[in-house]
Amino acid sequence: MSYIYIYRLAIILGVVSIVGCGTTTNGTKQKIAISTSTGQQAIARVNGEKITIPAKDIAVSRIKGANIQVLHEDNPCFEDTYYSISGKSKVSGAFWFNFFGLGTFGSTTDAMSGGMWEFHDPNFVVPIKQIENCKIKATQDNSKQTDSKKTNSKK
């Protein structure tokens, strides 16, 4: 073998040892599913972004997790609910392969980027509580009917 091949092999192994396997295979975010405790649909804010739950394939940071809010202003018949998903739930298998197989440089990259973590169970249930005797939907329907009757009677 010539020195050029040995030099190239050393460069390739050096690059591979500093690249995080968990980061490249897992990424820094994980897709999760969110549903409600009642099975009803609700508008939620996941880290400030409005989505309708139940929902699947919501990308959440493996390190930071997510803050979920179901607010009365978005859902008139529900009480405010705050739910937090903490990151760093479980160490992924890709991280261990990287740690034992390729060394500490790559595993440090995984730790810093969040690629070493995964959620133990990617399905989360947000407990929501409906306000008793809430008739906001019926009131809106009645006002629309009343408004349309007034318009027709004026013609």
Q: What is the pLDDT of residue 19?
A: 54
Residue (of 74, 121, 88) closest to 22 by Cα position:
88
Tally of CB atoms within 10 A around 61: 15
Q: Model pTM greater than 0.75?
A: no
CA–CA distance from 153 to each of 3, 28, 147, 150 (Å)? 95, 61, 10, 5
- What is d(CA 150, CA 155) in angstroms, rounded to the nearest whole number? 9
Least confident window among 4-8, 19-23, 83-87, 111-115: 19-23
Locate the domains of the chain by residue range.
3-131
